Amino acid sequence: MIENFLAGSAALFGDPFTIGIFVFGVIGGMLFGAIPGVSMLTLPPSCSPSQQRLNPRKA
């Protein structure tokens, strides 16, 4: 399990673009989660078009 987790972590932080997506998700989730009525559910659909272009790991 630990090796798999480390491999996952390496893949996550090994690429600046993936780090950027991670940071976007963290901040976007917090902001959208805090706005009443908007909620975190609004953010993923607005990202959907770009999801198609990303590779499955990043999406």
Binding site for another protein (CB under 8 A): 1, 4-5, 7-9, 11-12, 18, 21-22, 24-45, 47-48, 51-52, 54-59
Give the residue carrying structure tokens 């902001």. 31
What interhelical angle do 43-53 and 16-34 show, nearest 10? 160
Q: CB of residue 16 vs another protein: minimum separation in angstroms?
A: 15
For residues 3 and 11, is the Cβ–Cβ distance under 8 A?
A: no
